[in-house]
Structure 1
């Protein structure tokens, strides 16, 4: 090759090389997209990657297997709306003002999505919101279910304050709306999207294609199903038992009139016929023929509850797979953080219960996993105790966006990169909603690696103490055995420190009495 020809080729190559290098640099430093999939009442005990071999959750499992799984993720108030408020604000219920579902969320306070918007993010919330107010300017785009929403043919409230009806199954619709928003976004900006799922909230209505999906499964009855609650006043006082509280018609669709019952009033003829054929002609007939009573009836109700709950979760997992495949197909997976979590834990028959609310393990602990291909090593497992008030500061740190001093949680971003990071040694919890709907007494407390100390208050004031190593099912309240002991003195001191740290004036007042 002659020298002039070489220089001409070199001159042509240089701009291309610099363009490629610049593009690679842009990818390296480009802010990540973030998708937070938040389900409702989906316990980690119903997820394969957490050890349930009966659960069909390959897509949820995929997020954990390709990223990080948290084994000790806890909520600060185990109830739907307050958990969402904790996500938005990074603050405890008593600070953000949304202590129970009958309150109205103050949308004008600090909400971390606004910080993301100020840092160049497009932000959206699609699906279940459940905060008794509208998102307003907290998100650049939103379309939400009114209150709890409906499983079939649901309404959505839009930014124009219109109510729009969508035909179909709510989990499918939320996925379609989410993909549509991602496709139409400004592709020159990063995005943050919350996909707010209705599943797996009561009354557990499966998609038509999932009716009977778990009918060939017999779920093991929990060892604590017939718990008699000795020495545990609050556990004995609740109204959330499968045997008594759970309703055959309302919850388990037995002997329902599909033409007049309000739950099924939104179903079209195809949907109603499918439900009538499955629950009316099959399940109700089985129940009526067997004439069950006592323990046999309680265990039949348990099996039906499990089958409906897991079948409802099947559509949730399938749609998460659609989102993951959509990211793959559109070249977005590498630079998109994908998170899966639930608003709290849930009882699947433990202690004979359904629902949540208590500081006890099944409702305190929630599933959480996160995939971030360029940062988080696949198969990472995090054992340190993390809280839902930590969600907001972590996402802000990942997006390199400023965090408000109001935030009470702390970023676990460094924990994802190095599990040797120093972390909190206890968590603080406070639940308020009483007496309706499930008569769970208000209480606050702390959980350490080994112990849980709880103060119940209101109509009755008393303490509970559990040794989580010796009694992981929390069946033996040992408070009276350790009263005035050095252990209790130390735990109460830690509790007082947490109360002061998180500025819980109500708890401080109760402790002072």
Structure 2
């Protein structure tokens, strides 16, 4: 039997691919994370199957979609009696450990299982002096979370049984909101000159109602804490509460002729704004500065782990992966956060290095998803991939033996309809090499309150090659009617394959499409009506 490789899986939280310099945006510098790409492979189409922390982690651990592992939202936690990849690897001879963010529930029924050692933060955890939980209980750890989590990983590696391979999950809580950089990075990106996305002032026209309804706007939905500002004493006049009963407030917008004074929480510097657009851009610069400063600590600590592998002669025998639990909006469409199936939120960064099996400095455009991670680990370990896992091994992509004609298909489903924080609508859809089809549907159980205004159901279709920023919904465009039908068939096939239950009826959708005369020779005057929805009554 070929020697089983070590597996070091490093995952951050909410780290957008655009904030990794190996992806070429020029936004920031991540030299240590880039080492993995330069010495291995960069995936450009790795997608999350549910763009929110808890469900993504469940999919990674189990290799199943969320309707199967039952972790569909932030409030549905994993049943740790379920099989998972750590259990299979441990049974196959690996020593296993996880340190950092777990976020799949607490208490005996939800704590990590399948790991020889574990120490995790409760919930989101804190950046400074975090409480951490392990089998012996909970205690406060002095220091900065990103450093502490790495220290624990290095300690585990230093005490490992050198006669057995290891599977180590290093799960950083950074750069999750609220962004709290270590003071050692306070000068980074502080000049206020970070590039502003082309779509920052998006007006959400020609899109589904969900885009305009979302409360994820940099200019109106970020808190004083998010931006490192002093929250003044007072009530509603100081800003809208993040949630009823909370103390955090959003930094208000201003109207023409209004003014707002803000105070830096670290330096006490005052800023006075009388121009709404200048205030919005200030918020963007503060957001991105703190976000990128928080990532700098992650990058430095990735370097510590890579240096250890090199020093111990483990580089050749170890698969190293860097990823995030989903993507993140960095001002694109005026947003922060994730949740949506739009590209910036759906794309996971994925870098992998394995000198024995992966060529250095290459990129791949085949589609993969987070349900594929667990089967991939087992494939490299030479262990059987169990029948319950719904993903497939990514190894042919890494070996560069994948069929160029089969570029893959990603399925995504977000279940948290109109959550209190973000007002993001439930949706599902598929993304192939060029096109994306999204169905925005009503809460099927009617548990989340009455709707108001224009709401789902609605369809969106994007040509991601011609429209990479996803600004033009083509679901109603007669020139794309055949593409719509093809993507709908792919959606139906994937949902049937994985056993997910659709909220649409394709026969009625297609009948509606044809009854409205949306054929290739039809004029498109009605196709520009963004509120027309191809959906069952």
Unaligned runs of 5+ in 1: 1-27, 264-277
Q: Between 421-430 and 441-450, report the one with greater CA deviation.
A: 421-430
Please report how far the alpha carbon of residue 478 of structure 1 lies from its aligned counterpart in structure 2 after TM superposition.
Answer: 1.7
Question: Which one of 243, 259, 265 corresponds to residue 280 of structure 1?
Answer: 265
Match of 1:85 in 2: 58
For residues 178 and 266 of structure 2, what CA distance do their matches in structure 1 show? 19
Bigger relative contact order, structure 1 or 2, given CA contacts below 8 A and separation 6+? 1
Question: Which one of 328, 334, 341 corresponds to residue 346 of structure 1?
Answer: 328
Question: Which one of 433, 437, 440 corresponds to residue 456 of structure 1?
Answer: 440
Question: Which one of 473, 485, 490 corresponds to residue 489 of structure 1?
Answer: 485
| Structure 1 residues 394-432: Cα deviation after superposition (integer angstroms, max 9, x where no partner) | 010011112110111100112211244354532211111
Question: Which one of 496, 501, 512 corresponds to residue 497 of structure 2?
Answer: 501
Over the aligned positions, Cα root-mean-square deviation in angstroms equals 2.1
Q: Between 497-506 and 318-327, report the one with greater CA deviation.
A: 497-506
| Structure 1 residues 202-226: Cα deviation after superposition (integer angstroms, max 9, x where no partner) | 0110012011311135111111111
**Relative to total residues, which structure has the larger helix share, 1 or 2?**
1
For residues 121 and 145 of structure 1, do their structure 2 counterparts lie closer, same or farther at Cα, with a shift above 3 Å needed? same
For residues 51 and 4 of structure 2, what CA distance do their matches in structure 1 show? 32
Match of 1:31 in 2: 4
Write out aligned runs for 1:207-246 (5 A): 207-216=182-191, 218-232=193-207, 233-246=209-222
TM normalised by structure 1 equals 0.87
Question: Which one of 326, 347, 353 corresponds to residue 365 of structure 1?
Answer: 347
Paired residue secondary structure (2:139): strand
Write out aligned runs for 1:102-141 (5 A): 102-133=75-106, 134-141=110-117
Q: Between 214-223 and 144-153, report the one with greater CA deviation.
A: 214-223
Match of 2:304 in 1: 322
For residues 71 and 396 of structure 2, what CA distance do their matches in structure 1 show? 29
2:386 is aligned with 1:404:
yes
Match of 1:42 in 2: 15
Paired residue secondary structure (2:280): helix
For residues 476 and 414 of structure 1, what CA distance do their matches in structure 2 show? 34
Paired residue secondary structure (1:307): helix
Match of 1:415 in 2: 397
Q: Contact 1:47–1:55 (CA<8 Å) still a contact in 2? A: yes
For residues 448 and 54 of structure 1, what CA distance do their matches in structure 2 show? 27
For residues 490 and 265 of structure 2, what CA distance do their matches in structure 1 show? 54
For residues 419 and 222 of structure 1, what CA distance do their matches in structure 2 show? 36
Match of 1:386 in 2: 368
Q: Contact 1:100–1:432 (CA<8 Å) still a contact in 2? A: yes
Match of 1:273 in 2: none
Paired residue secondary structure (2:194): coil
For residues 38 and 136 of structure 1, what CA distance do their matches in structure 2 show? 16
For residues 448 and 334 of structure 1, what CA distance do their matches in structure 2 show? 34
Unaligned runs of 5+ in 2: 234-245, 249-262, 443-450, 509-535
| Structure 1 residues 453-477: Cα deviation after superposition (integer angstroms, max 9, x where no partner) | 1110115211111111221111111
Paired residue secondary structure (1:213): coil
For residues 292 and 206 of structure 1, do their structure 2 counterparts lie closer, same or farther at Cα, with a shift above 3 Å needed? farther
Please report how far the alpha carbon of residue 243 of structure 1 lies from its aligned counterpart in structure 2 after TM superposition.
Answer: 0.6
For residues 43 and 136 of structure 1, do their structure 2 counterparts lie closer, same or farther at Cα, with a shift above 3 Å needed? closer
Match of 1:479 in 2: 475
Write out aligned runs for 1:51-66 (5 A): 51-66=24-39
Paired residue secondary structure (1:228): coil
For residues 13 and 232 of structure 2, what CA distance do their matches in structure 1 show? 27
Q: Contact 1:425–1:448 (CA<8 Å) still a contact in 2? A: yes
2:418 is aligned with 1:442:
no
Match of 1:9 in 2: none
Between Structure 1 and Structure 2, whose CA radius of gyration is higher? 1
| Structure 1 residues 37-63: Cα deviation after superposition (integer angstroms, max 9, x where no partner) | 010000000111101223120000000
Write out aligned runs for 1:293-308 (5 A): 293-308=275-290
For residues 424 and 91 of structure 1, do their structure 2 counterparts lie closer, same or farther at Cα, with a shift above 3 Å needed? farther
For residues 210 and 510 of structure 1, do their structure 2 counterparts lie closer, same or farther at Cα, with a shift above 3 Å needed? farther
Match of 2:128 in 1: 152
For residues 188 and 409 of structure 1, do their structure 2 counterparts lie closer, same or farther at Cα, with a shift above 3 Å needed? same
Match of 2:255 in 1: none
For residues 433 and 59 of structure 1, what CA distance do their matches in structure 2 show? 35
Paired residue secondary structure (1:331): coil
Q: Between 103-112 and 80-89, report the one with greater CA deviation.
A: 103-112
| Structure 1 residues 141-176: Cα deviation after superposition (integer angstroms, max 9, x where no partner) | 11100000000000110012x102110000000010
| Structure 1 residues 221-251: Cα deviation after superposition (integer angstroms, max 9, x where no partner) | 111111011122110110000011112x121
Please report how far the alpha carbon of residue 308 of structure 1 lies from its aligned counterpart in structure 2 after TM superposition.
Answer: 0.3
Q: Contact 2:488–2:506 (CA<8 Å) still a contact in 1? A: no
